Chain A
Amino acid sequence: MNDMLRLIEPLIPSLRRYARALAKDRAVADDLVQDCLERAVSRWHQRRVDGDARTWIFSILHNLAISLFRQTGFRGKHLPLDDADDAALGQPASQEDQLKYSDVLGKVSQLPEEQRSVLLLVAVEDLSYVEAARVLDIPIGTVMSRLSRARERLLVLMEGDDKRVVPLNPRLRRVK
């Protein structure tokens, strides 16, 4: 169990960050992390010894978050791009970092959940593509295509005020 403390404790700030980016609400996010840690404590012995602790704990957290969102219908407000109105997309640009940051987080929460997870795990939590595939239990090719779509879409969202950019990229069309 000492290994557990040594391997998992340093990851708690990252787990909180990932949970917050998914759930946005601080209390909801920390509850998720708490559930995740409790689950990890009780299942530590079932963990594959050769497995990586970081991907293991991130997959627990991710699955808890997804099942919470499914149960409660609670998730970041998601607007399909085509349906989004001007007010949702065209936030005024600002030089202030704070505004820029809350802007980017707002845009990220408009991404479909599956794209957002990949982007956050890779670009923020520094997981490799293989690790992200393991956390999300999807093939690495799917990680790459979701990452690519997330980045393209986020670019369009971030340049949302510029109308000309929106219809340019046919890859972004939702097929759902």
Chain B
Amino acid sequence: MTGRPITEDDLHGYVDGLIDGTRCAEVAAYLQDHPEVAARTASYAKQRDTLRAALAPIAEEPVPPQLNIARMLETRRRPRISKWVASLAAALSILIGGAVGWSLRGAVQPASEGVLALAQEAADSYGVYAPDRVRPVEIRASEGKELVNWTSQRLQRSVTVPDLASSGYRFMGGRLLATPHGPAVMFMYDDSRGTRLVVLSRAMAVDQNMPMIPHTRGAVNGFAWADKGVGYSLVGPAAPDVLHSIADSVRDQVKRGI
């Protein structure tokens, strides 16, 4: 406990998932003791959910043709260049393109290994399993011990399950995954609104120790890092700063656990 009094701003931060795990827990404790404030906060959260649900279909609509930004970029670039400059540029770009292409021949798939690859694998797994309402995890949290034993055996190290309860996320369970770099374990968590997070972890041949890097795919954010040859990536639809503090907490727990 920090002992700082709970403010209105904290209540909004709580509703919007914009306060860190410690503060979040403090607000939750406060709300338990103050039912009236809790009711008001719950109304804000409900209002937020209704509003999001009401507006969600707009973002799902196919983007109309006049909003094609690739085409806007094209038409903007074209008329500015006179013909001979254009042909010269074309000739040059073929030369440069060839040269650059050759020099980058190993690097065209920059994420084929290391922490970046791990980040992609985590985002891929999130994309497949997080929306799954039937069987998002292979082994449920209630059989956590079995999950830990199984994955520890397959990953040939002692696997620990990070606890995200202080950030408001409940452990749902996990599964073993195949990646181009060998087996990985995936743990899934959800909060009271059903928002799911995924932690992916596997052994790292490249980038054995890497500081935390952020990654984004659409509305899904992630943080990936590696420590002593084991890589981790936390992925979810939370705001980057929220996710970052959860990732920090996972990293601390793993460090303490080793």
Contact = CB atoms under 8 A, between A and B. Distances in A.
Interface of A: 1, 4-5, 8-10, 12-14, 16-17, 20-21, 30, 33-34, 37-38, 41-42, 97, 100-102, 104-105, 108, 119-120, 122-124, 126, 128-129, 144, 147-148, 151, 154-155, 158
Most chain B beta-carbon contacts within 10 A, residue among A14, A123, A129, A148: A123
A131 B64 CA distance: 27
B55 interface: yes
B83 interface: no
Contact of A124 (B52, B60, B64, B67): B52
A44 B207 CA distance: 34
B239 A128 contact: yes
A17 B55 contact: yes
B133 to A, nearest CB: 18
Interface residues of B, number: 36
13 contacts: A5-B70, A13-B58, A13-B60, A13-B63, A16-B63, A17-B55, A17-B56, A37-B69, A41-B76, A104-B51, A147-B12, A151-B44, A155-B43
Nearest to B64: A30
Nearest to A131: B239
Contacts of A129: 13, 18
Contact of A16 (B12, B47, B58): B58
Nearest to B17: A126
Contacts of A21: 55, 58
B70 A9 contact: yes
Contact of A34 (B9, B52, B59, B66): B66
B59 A14 contact: yes
B50 interface: yes
B53 interface: yes
A97 B54 CA distance: 9
Contacts of A4: 69, 73
A17 B76 CA distance: 26
Contacts of B13: 129
B47 A154 contact: yes
B218 interface: yes
B16 interface: yes
A127 to B, nearest CB: 8
B63 A101 contact: no
Most chain A beta-carbon contacts within 10 A, residue among B16, B47, B76: B47
B54 A102 contact: yes
Contacts of A9: 69-70
Nearest to A1: B73
Given A126-B239, A151-B44, A151-B47, A97 B67 contact: no
A20 B77 CA distance: 29
A10 B218 contact: yes
Contacts of B9: 144
Given A1-B73, A155-B43, A30 B18 contact: no
Contacts of B33: none
A39 B192 CA distance: 40
B48 A123 contact: yes
B108 interface: no
Contacts of A126: 219, 239
A98 B245 CA distance: 37
Nearest to B238: A126
B39 to A, nearest CB: 11
Interface string B23-65: 0000000000000000010011001101111111011110110
